Amino acid sequence: MKKIFLIGLIVLFAAIPAIAKVNLPKAKEFRLDNGLTVKVVERHTLPLFSLQMSFKAGSICDPQDKEGLAFLCNEMLMRGTKNRSARHIVEAIAFVGGTLSNYCDREETGFAGEFLTDNGERSFEVMADLLLNSTFSQEELEKTANLVIAGLKGELERPGAVATNNIYSAILGDNPFAHQVNGSVESIGSITRDDIVGFFSDYYTPDNCLLVICGDIDKKQAELWVKKYFRGWNGKTQKRPAVAEFEATSGTDILILDKVDATQTQIRIGNTGLSLKHPDYVPFEAARTILAGSFTSRLVNEIRVNRGLSYGVSCRSPRYIPGGIVYISTFTKNESVGEVLDIILSETKRMTTEAVPDSELVGAQNYRSGLYPLNFETNDDIAEVFSNMWLYDLDKSHYEDFQEKVKDVSGADLMKAAGKYFPLENYRIVLVGKAEEIKDQAAKYGTVTVQPLATE
């Protein structure tokens, strides 16, 4: 019977497919005389292709008191050219079954879209029109600024968004990475058309741009269309402002944003974390997965499953070139804020004092390795990866070696990473809730500052 059982196990495990290793496709590159770099990744599985046009021009380039300028400038690029109104831009893309959207983050801005190969030329023609012929009309600027301001006011009605925005500033202070990408009501209202035109001239230049084309298109065809529509694009970028490395968090401070009618409190607790290329990234990711990075993590079990104090909890770790932050995010009823904070700090400390059982470590390794290939399935995914390699000066090994490195993480590596990056002694807490009911609970963790929750 034992032999039959063992044979059954062998057959069972033999039938489980091995986790697919990520191998990035090759990219063919060419460059125009104006400095525009283009990468073409051929994937002839479906008759369509994705493109991503990235600029090193994110919100960290915003001048002081003009926060949101990069975001507003990027929005304005879809608001009218010499040849098309905002409505006609959308119609021109939709007419050929394509999609095109703009985006802005802290370190980059750009466009991303998907088009049918047979109608692919239209994508290049429209994007060139946006970059060469945008008018930045005062009328459209006023409309767009009002929409952005309305969005910012709407965020103030969402306690979760308020808490997340404020944990950045609580941890990073005056660093340019601390302010909101889309600025504030006051700063957006102060931005002029001259500001927009100046920012566009400084950063939306071919030498500050990478165009990635991924899908059912070959280099010859891509080069023909790129040269046809972008050869006349000129300009030299201004050097991006230098940003200091993130300073380590010192001491413990608690900010309560008083929402007087709240019955629940949004909780964020965190500190400085890892830069984008930090060598501790892989062991930290394994530790983060065990703490609060999956639906079966320790904090989910303790806070949600065992005690029913919240629906969910997560640990996030945004990383950038000069540094990163780590913060734990959850919410609970006002009367249990202290209990939830106790659990978070107890579990983070336990990660540094008790060895993680092998079964838990293997489970985390399999979870991260198994899900990892899902990040590289679509043309959009691949285009974003190649854009990030250019933006952050990464090579393929950053992506291709991740799964193998995760498998090599030891229990000692986990404890070391947890001790360096999880909130233990020097951290910031942001609470959005009813101050009268949560202030005393929070006071045991450090100095408490109470501010009214802004409504506009």
| 5, pLDDT greater than 80 | no
CA distances in angstroms from 253 to 249, 316, 398, 414, 429, listed in the order given: 10, 20, 35, 27, 6
**Mean confidence (pLDDT) of the chain:** 94
Query: What is the model's pLDDT at position 18?
Result: 59
Residue type, 348: T
359 Cβ contact list (under 8 Å, min separation 6):
none
Confidence band, pLDDT 50/70/90 cuts, at residue 454 = confident
pLDDT one-digit tens code per residue, 99-148: 999 999 999 999 999 999 999 999 999 999 999 999 999 999 999 999 99
Query: For 138-166, what is the mean pLDDT?
Result: 96
- Torsion angle of C-alpha atoms 173, 179, 180, 184, degrees rounded to 10: 110
CA distances in angstroms from 397 to 24, 256, 265, 277, 389, listed in the order given: 9, 43, 42, 12, 10
Query: What is the model's pLDDT at position 456?
Result: 66
Q: And the tokens for 312? A: 């969910």
Query: What is the model's pLDDT at position 239?
Result: 81
pLDDT one-digit tens code per residue, 312-357: 999 999 999 999 999 999 999 999 999 999 999 999 999 999 999 9
CA distances in angstroms from 31 to 4, 39, 106, 208, listed in the order given: 63, 9, 26, 12
End-to-end CA distance of the chain: 73
Closest by Cα among 32, 26, 95, 379 to 225:
32
The Cβ of residue 233 has, within 10 Å, a number of other Cβ atoms equal to: 17
pLDDT one-digit tens code per residue, 386-398: 999 999 999 999 9
Query: What is the model's pLDDT at position 11?
Result: 37
Query: What is the model's pLDDT at position 247?
Result: 93
Residues in a beta bridge with 111:
53, 102
Q: What DSSP assignment string belongs to 228-253?
A: HHHTT----PPPPPP-PPPPPP-SEE
| CATH class as words, domain 28-230 | alpha beta
Q: Which residue has the tokens 């196990």?
A: 9
Q: For domain 252-452, give the CATH superfamily.
A: Metalloenzyme, LuxS/M16 peptidase-like (3.30.830.10)
Query: What is the model's pLDDT at position 240?
Result: 82
Query: What is the model's pLDDT at position 256?
Result: 98
Fold equal for 28-230 and 252-452: yes
What is the C-alpha to C-alpha distance for residues 351 and 168, in angstroms, rounded to an integer? 24
Residues in a beta bridge with 54:
110, 210
Query: Which strand ranges, in their side-by-side order, compose the sheet holding 313-316?
Result: 313-316, 325-333, 264-272, 427-433, 252-258, 447-452
| 15, pLDDT greater than 70 | no
Closest by Cα among 343, 325, 344, 341 to 443:
341
pLDDT one-digit tens code per residue, 67-81: 999 999 999 999 999
pLDDT one-digit tens code per residue, 352-384: 999 999 999 999 999 999 999 999 999 999 999
Confidence band, pLDDT 50/70/90 cuts, at residue 442 = very high
Give helix 121-133 / helix 86-95 axis angle, nearest 10°. Answer: 170
Query: What is the model's pLDDT at position 147?
Result: 97
CA distances in angstroms from 135 to 73, 92, 221, 374, listed in the order given: 11, 18, 30, 40
Annotated domain spans of the chain: 28-230, 252-452
pLDDT one-digit tens code per residue, 198-237: 999 999 999 999 999 999 999 999 999 999 999 999 999 9
| 163, pLDDT greater than 90 | yes
Q: And the tokens for 146? A: 């009002």
CA distances in angstroms from 122 to 93, 158, 187, 225, listed in the order given: 7, 39, 36, 9
The model scores a pTM over 0.95: no
CA distances in angstroms from 323 to 110, 116, 200, 275, 431, listed in the order given: 22, 39, 27, 4, 24
Q: And the tokens for 281? A: 């990234």
Three-class DSSP category at 288:
helix
